A and B are shown apart, each in its own frame.
Chain A
Amino acid sequence: MSALLEQLTRRQLLWHANSQHTAYQAVPSGYAELDQQLAGGFPATGLIDIQTDTGIGELRLLLPYLQQQQSGGRLLVFLSPLAEPCADMLCAAGIVLSQLVIITPKTGKDALWAAEQCLQSGCCASVLLWQVPLKQAQARRLQLAAEQGAASLILLRRPQQGLSLPVNLSIKLQAHRQGVLLSVQKRKGGWPAAPFLVDMQNRWPGLCFSTEQHWQARRKAS
């Protein structure tokens, strides 16, 4: 029975009694310190706003979460990605490629239409939307679609585009040699917190400058 419960929980069909203080159902992010700050992890549904430069570790931060989201068999959608997604990295991170759909619309309008279709379809778990300008009203409409289809929409935007949107969570990322520096801008049912480091040295040693420089030291020893 517990297995069933676990499965239901993972698929967000059951609500934890102890998570009532969060305004959303949280999915573990895979980074313990982050889960602590976010009271459990990223929201399973609704809008997540991430203000970030590209290439500093923003997707690495999300990968464990996305993998969790996908595990129910639903789709993961990349909408207007920056460049050609690379199968190796995603696959190695546990993303099931056959459940990944990449959409490259020609206009922002089409992108928003596609986002709405995906979110409300009920067959997508998460939609990542890159760099599409969004108005308040559009955001509200997407939030509605997301809740309707029990999906999350992750907006990846540049920091300066910081316009307050009706979202479940809004965070800001900054580059750091050992991972990313994360500050929570806004959290439904929570308060903004001071920036802190999400350390990626264990998970991604090749993409961090190690603190003790043990890497270089070891290499010399060899």
Chain B
Amino acid sequence: MNYAELFCQSHFSFLHGASSPEELVAQAAALGYDALALTDECSVAGIVRAYRQINEQALNIKLIIGSYFQLDKLELVLLCPDKAAYAELCRIITNARRRSNKGEYCLTEWDLMSLKHCLLLWLPAGDNESDTHWANWLQKYHSDRLWLAMRRQLSHNEATFTDYCLQLAQQYQLNTVCCGAVLMHVPQRLALQHCVSAIKAGKPITELGRQLLSNAERALRPLSKLEKLFSRGLLQQSCVIAARCTFSLDELKYQYPSELVPEGETASSYLQRLVVQGTKLRFPAGVPKRVQAIIDKEMALISEFNYEYFFLTIYDLVQFAKSKAILYQGRGSAANSVVCYCLEITAVDPDKIQVLFERFLSRERKEPPDIDVDFEHERREEVIQYLYQKYGRERAALAATVISYRFKSALRDVGKALGLPLSQLDFLIKNIQRRDPNLSWQQQLSALGLDNNSQTTQQLVTMVEQLRGFPRHLSQHVGGFVISQGPLYELVPVENAAMADRTVIQWDKDDLETLELLKVDVLALGMLTAIRKCFALLKQHAQQDLSIAGISAQGDDVAVYQMIQKADTIGLFQIESRAQMSMLPRLRPACYYDLVVQIAIVRPGPIQGDMVHPYLKRRHGEEAVEYPSAEVQSVLSRTLGVPIFQEQVIQLAMVAAGFTGGEADQLRRAMASWKKTGELLQFKHKLIDGMRSRGYAHEYAERIYQQICGFGEYGFPESHSASFAVLAYVSAWLKYYYPAAFCTALLNSYPMGFYTPSQLLQDARRHGVTVLPVCVNQSQWDYSLEQQGKAIRLGLRQVKGFSKAAAQLLLALRPVGGFRDLARLRQTGLSHSSLQALASANALSSISGDRYNSRWQLMDNQHSLPLFNAYTAEPAQQIAEAEPAYLAAPGPVAEVLEDYAATGLTLAVHPIALLRQANKLPRSVPVAELSGVRHNSPVRVSGLVTLRQRPGTAAGVTFMSLEDETGTANVLIWLATAQAQQKTFLTAHILQVDGILQREGEVTHIIAGKLVDLSALLAELSLSSRDFH
């Protein structure tokens, strides 16, 4: 007996289906079904996954594309027999989705009436009135493609319903077929199905009662069982329908927008012309022979794979950015090609990096070329709007990102479904330690008060593990656009995203990759904004006309690298984090390629894979650089035999373990997702056996595998690192030569980077830059440069509670000589709260004295009587000034606290300095003097806690930064220490640490012993308890 399941919903029918598309097709194939129709509710989000599973596992089952819909009491399944039907389905899903809010849909009769190709399975509701209506209606419009679908789930009074359906079929002359209305691939998923139903209903499972499935019959059932439930005719009919469905996703052909090519030219000739043009710009002295050879090779590859349009699309995009003076930078496997260099997509000079385009776009591997373009974060929207304008919303949309359950969200939702109190769940979520690999979260439950043997706990554990990785909703990809020649909705449904005016397609980037559809990544990067602003400042104040390409073209600047080697990198791109800073003095990058390595190596992947140490040793010549074979040498020589980049791992698998291009591609995807699914394991034997059979030692093979595992999802591609290194260098160059302008630009691009404005300004001051306070008569909205570019004036943007609109009003009405009194300032019409914000920031000190007195005057409501609100010619004479201020002035501690509260920083005395002056910090060593403390000797430091970070790599260790008036100390706290002094560890704002100082080269750490919370000291000093964090 043959059977095709025509109605099956996966977990892409969110919180309803309880199995993945992959599980469903695998199980259906195992049960011997002829075909499986994946019919998620108003969605095709899961079909590519099912398609990939069938191809990769070579499953003997046919995939039918379809979708399930509800319209009032009408329930329908639409199936796609051919490509026209598929386009039709995508269109009506798009229509139904675009009419509604994100996550919902609204089908209309018109949608259904317009169907010409899709097959319809009708599921009667059992309500005679509506069923009669729809039977007539469906018969009228779709009689030749219509079936009444019979279900049998062994539910209450089913015989009567079956009888009723048969009568309907007879009465309206409908064909009948049977279906399973499947929600689970195996009956064992029933508990999970109940759980997701409860999550969807927002109630505990116990309260749902009869809303829950009454049994597990909505699983894929064995053929033997189906034969008992349905007549032979009904079963056969399912195969008849399946046979009519010949559409496969293979047929989807992607067509690039053609308007990019001028008339009279082909894509190929046009690209050729642009590249030739570019060579003149990039190589004014003539193209070196070696480079020309590379260009020819690249062009041949591009033409072989028909990628011309892809390059032209990106070329068009960056041309737009260039015309609007928006700074951009391309990165990714194809971006670092000479062709891209010539098309001005990237500024990475191919001469300086031996990375070859061909290595990324290889013949054997199906991986499509990858070009991400970063734009200034404040202006990326302009680029996106350009895309929408040029191609229209019908042809351009963002790729989706599938938002999935992660541990915490799964625990919260499952817990609620099992009826655990919310406060207990909050408690669990806050306290379960996920970092310690030796202590599973299940083991921790009992320590946190759950009875490990209780049924609820065991159910919680099982369910959380099952729910992890389940999709929750579709969100928008950060910037991946799909652009097509025809309307996109004939290729894939488009739905609304949460952001107004954004639409996303129902597939994510993996799906696009599977179908070999290309996407263009339009990303936002804060550092590009900062660099552009810095260039503008320098043009204005130093008459310098700079560009990224120009700075890189000057070659490696020794002085700049010396600064980097000292880890003087606060504010720099990519190399400013704590981890990076502690590695810089050891790696001592001295040229561009060193930076490429530096950026890629200080990441969780290489650190976990234990690659940092060998690389360091080899770089310092403490370990010999050896290669087990010439092939391996060709892959690893540029990183001294240690695999650091993702590309190297893939290449290793190919050259050393004999992976085919396709297998290597699967490996790459598995690496990206193995934390979630553990998919990597299946490659272990293949990799190790492959390497051993090629004569590599077992130990070496095992090490390579471990390194791949360590890479996990953190693996970083060389092609991206290469582009980032350019920006890292440019930012370093700017900081070295123009510290004031660079800092100003960073602050005006805030929020970005690791550091607060306070830390950036302190760093600038240490580099000899003067910082001037915010002032109602001097400050602009942005930070600005004064004193011939040597001093930074705080901008009004730093004042909390003071809006940009208020600033514009203030600046427009500011007299040339500035405001002379409060009365005049009031007449600008600034709101009371805006004036208060200025007073709090001490920005009024030049016209109304200290904060207390400014506020006292501002609060006087006699001034805000309507009579005085109107602008009068000579206001000063008509308004009686407030009585002379008699309030006491704030003390130094109060001033500092107010500074922090109002601007997040102070230019006055550092709070720690205040405590030191008041003799509250006996024996604490200022950070600047730590260099005089011997290695391994005890030391005491005190400071503001500016960072409390538990890095993913070093389990059980927390990094803390303590800032005092002289600098920032790095404190390392072991788990046991932290636990023993938990309260202080968790809550202190000002901390005193007694510990041991350790020094390695120029890196200094303090290993914490005793922690003392000094947060209360400042409050004591000022009689105020306000928190300044």
Q: Do chains A and B touch in the complex (CB under 8 A)?
A: yes
Which chain A residues have a beta carbon within 8 Å of chain B's beta carbons?
Answer: 205-206, 215, 218-222
Min Cβ gap A37→B in Å is: 29
Is B160 in contact with A219, judged by CB distance below 8 angstroms? Answer: no
Is B163 in contact with A215, judged by CB distance below 8 angstroms? Answer: yes
Is A219 in contact with B162, judged by CB distance below 8 angstroms? Answer: yes
* Chain A residues, Cβ within 8 Å of B230: 222
Task: Jot down 15 A-B pairs with beta carbons below 8 A, ordered by A.
Answer: A205-B160, A206-B159, A206-B160, A215-B159, A218-B162, A218-B163, A218-B166, A219-B159, A220-B231, A221-B166, A221-B231, A222-B150, A222-B176, A222-B230, A222-B231
Cα–Cα, bound, A205→B164 (Å): 12
Max chain A CB contacts within 10 Å: which of B150, B159, B160? B159
Cα–Cα, bound, A220→B150 (Å): 14
* Chain A residues, Cβ within 8 Å of B157: 206
B317 within 8 A of A: no
B611 within 8 A of A: no
Interface string of B144-182 (1 = CB under 8 A from A): 000000100000010110110010000000001000000
Is A222 in contact with B162, judged by CB distance below 8 angstroms? Answer: yes
Cα–Cα, bound, A205→B160 (Å): 8
Which chain B residues have a beta carbon within 8 Å of chain A's beta carbons?
Answer: 150, 157, 159-160, 162-163, 166, 176, 230-231, 234
B150's nearest neighbour on chain A, judged by CB, is A222
- Across chains A and B, which 9 residue pairs bring their CB atoms closest together, nearest first? A222-B231, A218-B163, A222-B162, A218-B166, A222-B166, A222-B150, A205-B160, A221-B166, A206-B157
* Chain B residues, Cβ within 8 Å of A222: 150, 162, 166, 176, 230-231, 234
Cα–Cα, bound, A220→B157 (Å): 17
* Chain B residues, Cβ within 8 Å of A220: 231
Classify the interface of chain A: helix, strand, loop or mixed.
Answer: helix
Cα–Cα, bound, A179→B70 (Å): 40
15 more A-B contacts (CB under 8 A) besides A206-B157, A206-B160?
A205-B160, A215-B163, A218-B162, A218-B163, A218-B166, A219-B162, A219-B163, A220-B231, A221-B166, A221-B231, A222-B150, A222-B162, A222-B166, A222-B230, A222-B234
Min Cβ gap B562→A in Å is: 85
Min Cβ gap B239→A in Å is: 17
Min Cβ gap B230→A in Å is: 7
Cα–Cα, bound, A218→B230 (Å): 12
Cα–Cα, bound, A215→B163 (Å): 8
Cα–Cα, bound, A221→B230 (Å): 9
Min Cβ gap B182→A in Å is: 19
A216's nearest neighbour on chain B, judged by CB, is B159
Cα–Cα, bound, A132→B159 (Å): 38
Cα–Cα, bound, A90→B152 (Å): 26
Cα–Cα, bound, A219→B159 (Å): 8
Min Cβ gap A80→B in Å is: 30
* Chain A residues, Cβ within 8 Å of B163: 215, 218-219
* Chain B residues, Cβ within 8 Å of A221: 166, 231
B176's nearest neighbour on chain A, judged by CB, is A222
Cα–Cα, bound, A1→B230 (Å): 56
Cα–Cα, bound, A162→B174 (Å): 56
Min Cβ gap B123→A in Å is: 15
Cα–Cα, bound, A220→B160 (Å): 14
* Chain A residues, Cβ within 8 Å of B231: 220-222
Min Cβ gap B180→A in Å is: 15
Cα–Cα, bound, A206→B159 (Å): 8
Cα–Cα, bound, A222→B152 (Å): 11
Cα–Cα, bound, A219→B234 (Å): 12
B165's nearest neighbour on chain A, judged by CB, is A222
Cα–Cα, bound, A218→B169 (Å): 12
Cα–Cα, bound, A39→B71 (Å): 49
Cα–Cα, bound, A218→B150 (Å): 13
Min Cβ gap A89→B in Å is: 12
Cα–Cα, bound, A207→B705 (Å): 67
Min Cβ gap A90→B in Å is: 16
Cα–Cα, bound, A206→B156 (Å): 11
Min Cβ gap B541→A in Å is: 84
A205's nearest neighbour on chain B, judged by CB, is B160
Max chain B CB contacts within 10 Å: which of A215, A218, A220, A221? A221
Min Cβ gap B698→A in Å is: 62
Min Cβ gap A19→B in Å is: 35
Max chain B CB contacts within 10 Å: which of A206, A215, A220, A222? A222
Min Cβ gap A221→B in Å is: 7
Cα–Cα, bound, A222→B151 (Å): 11
Cα–Cα, bound, A221→B157 (Å): 18
Max chain A CB contacts within 10 Å: which of B150, B157, B163, B231? B163
Cα–Cα, bound, A206→B157 (Å): 8
* Chain B residues, Cβ within 8 Å of A206: 157, 159-160
Cα–Cα, bound, A81→B234 (Å): 46
* Chain A residues, Cβ within 8 Å of B150: 222
* Chain B residues, Cβ within 8 Å of A218: 162-163, 166
* Chain A residues, Cβ within 8 Å of B234: 222
Min Cβ gap B149→A in Å is: 12
Cα–Cα, bound, A205→B161 (Å): 12
Cα–Cα, bound, A215→B159 (Å): 8
Cα–Cα, bound, A45→B234 (Å): 55
* Chain B residues, Cβ within 8 Å of A215: 159, 163
Cα–Cα, bound, A135→B150 (Å): 57
Cα–Cα, bound, A198→B761 (Å): 96
* Chain B residues, Cβ within 8 Å of A219: 159, 162-163
Min Cβ gap A219→B in Å is: 7
* Chain B residues, Cβ within 8 Å of A205: 160
B229's nearest neighbour on chain A, judged by CB, is A222
Cα–Cα, bound, A219→B150 (Å): 12
Cα–Cα, bound, A215→B234 (Å): 18
Cα–Cα, bound, A152→B160 (Å): 35
Cα–Cα, bound, A205→B159 (Å): 10
Min Cβ gap B169→A in Å is: 9
Cα–Cα, bound, A220→B231 (Å): 7
Cα–Cα, bound, A222→B150 (Å): 9
B152's nearest neighbour on chain A, judged by CB, is A222
Cα–Cα, bound, A218→B234 (Å): 13
B230's nearest neighbour on chain A, judged by CB, is A222
Min Cβ gap A3→B in Å is: 26
Min Cβ gap A194→B in Å is: 33
B157's nearest neighbour on chain A, judged by CB, is A206
Cα–Cα, bound, A220→B159 (Å): 11
Cα–Cα, bound, A44→B935 (Å): 104
Cα–Cα, bound, A205→B157 (Å): 10
Min Cβ gap A110→B in Å is: 36
Min Cβ gap A39→B in Å is: 34
Min Cβ gap A202→B in Å is: 12
Min Cβ gap B158→A in Å is: 10
Cα–Cα, bound, A172→B908 (Å): 105
Cα–Cα, bound, A219→B228 (Å): 11
* Chain A residues, Cβ within 8 Å of B176: 222
Cα–Cα, bound, A88→B159 (Å): 18
* Chain A residues, Cβ within 8 Å of B160: 205-206
Cα–Cα, bound, A221→B150 (Å): 12
Cα–Cα, bound, A221→B234 (Å): 9
A214's nearest neighbour on chain B, judged by CB, is B163
Cα–Cα, bound, A185→B317 (Å): 97
Cα–Cα, bound, A205→B162 (Å): 13
Min Cβ gap A150→B in Å is: 37
A88's nearest neighbour on chain B, judged by CB, is B156
Cα–Cα, bound, A215→B162 (Å): 10
Min Cβ gap B228→A in Å is: 12
Cα–Cα, bound, A205→B166 (Å): 16
Cα–Cα, bound, A218→B157 (Å): 15
Min Cβ gap B168→A in Å is: 12
Min Cβ gap A138→B in Å is: 42
Cα–Cα, bound, A104→B560 (Å): 96
Min Cβ gap B214→A in Å is: 13
Min Cβ gap B160→A in Å is: 7
